[in-house]
Amino acid sequence: MKRRKQIDADTLMPYVLTAGPLLIISAFFVPVIVIMMVQDMLFFSYDHWSFIRPRAAYLGFGGAMIWLAVCLFSLYFIKAAAEKKNWNDRSLSVHTLLMAAAFPIFVLSIYHYAYLDEAGVKVNAFWSVSEDEIHWGDVESVSRVVEEDTQRVTSYTFSGNGRTLTIPYATEDYQTRQAVNRVLSEYEWEVEDKISEASEDPGDQQFID
C-alpha cells in the first residue's frame, strides 16, 4: 500500500497538474470549435434557413471543462493531504463520480440549438435532447425583446397551438435576420415589443428554460 501511494503522488499527480491548467485554458476556445463541428455533423441540413447556436451551449461546454479541472485539482490536494497525514484515502472513487457529471453537460451543450426552415421554428432547449417546434401556420402571436437603451432586439418569441418558443436574435447574424424578416413579411404578424434593460439577456435565458 505504501508503494501504491508513492506511485500516486510521484507519478500520477504531475499528469493531473498538467491536465488541469490545460482544461482551464482550452475551455475559453475549444467549446466554440467542438460545438460548431459536432453540431454541423449531427444536425446540418440544406433545408435550414438559419441555424442558431446559443451562447449557453458554449458556456455549458466550457463550464464542464472547468469542472473537470477543479475535480482534478481537488483530487491532487486531497491525496497529498491524505498521504501526509496517513489517512485512509477514498477520494478517487468520489472524484470519478464528480467528473462523470461533466459528460451529461457536454451532451446537453451539443444538443442545445434552434433553427428556422420552411416548416417553422424548432428549438432544442438546454435541458433537453429532443426538439420542440411550432409550424408557421400555427403561430398566433409574435413578440420580441428590445433593450431599452440601445433598441437592440435580443430575442423573438413565437406562440401558438399551446406552445411558446423563443430564439436568440442578433442583427449581425445575417441568416437569422433574413429568415425572421422573411416569415414576418409573409405572414404579416403584429409583433409586440417587450422592453428590457441592456444588462439583461432575456433571449438566452428564455431559450434555456
Report the CATH number that the domain containing residue 181 is assigned in CATH.
2.30.29
Does residue 65 sit in the same domain as residue 124? no
Strand ranges for 19-152 from DSSP E:
48-52, 113-117, 120-124, 132-135, 141-147
The pLDDT assigned to 46 comes to 96
pLDDT recorded at residue 91: 79
Which of 142, 119, 122 is closest to 133 using CA atoms?
A: 122
What pTM was estimated for this model as a whole?
0.87
Each of the 209 residues of the chain gets a pLDDT tens digit; together they read 444 444 455 666 788 889 999 999 999 999 999 999 999 999 999 999 999 999 999 999 999 999 999 999 998 888 888 778 877 777 778 888 999 999 999 999 999 999 999 999 999 999 998 999 999 999 999 999 999 999 999 999 999 999 999 999 999 999 999 999 999 999 999 999 999 876 555 445 445 54
Question: pLDDT value at position 11?
Answer: 65
How far is it, in rounded angstroms, from Cα 6 to Cα 70?
Answer: 23
> Which one of 74, 92, 110 terminates a domain?
110
Residue 29 in 3-state DSSP? coil
**What is the reported pLDDT for 200?**
52
User: Which whole-number Å values give the CA distances from 62 to 111, 123, 131, 144, 164, in the listed order?
Assistant: 15, 21, 23, 29, 28
d(CA 204, CA 209): 9
Model pLDDT, residue 6: 44
- The residue to which cell 428556422 is assigned: 116
CA-to-CA dists, residue 126 to 38, 59, 130, 205, angstroms: 16, 11, 10, 10
Residue span of the structural domain in which 59 resides? 2-45+54-110
Q: Residue 203: its pLDDT value, please?
A: 45
Rounded distance between C-alpha atoms, residue 165 and residue 113, angstroms: 12
Q: Are residues 173 and 150 part of one domain? A: yes
Residues 14 and 106 in one domain: yes
Amino acid identity, position 77: F
Residues 91, 125 share a domain: no
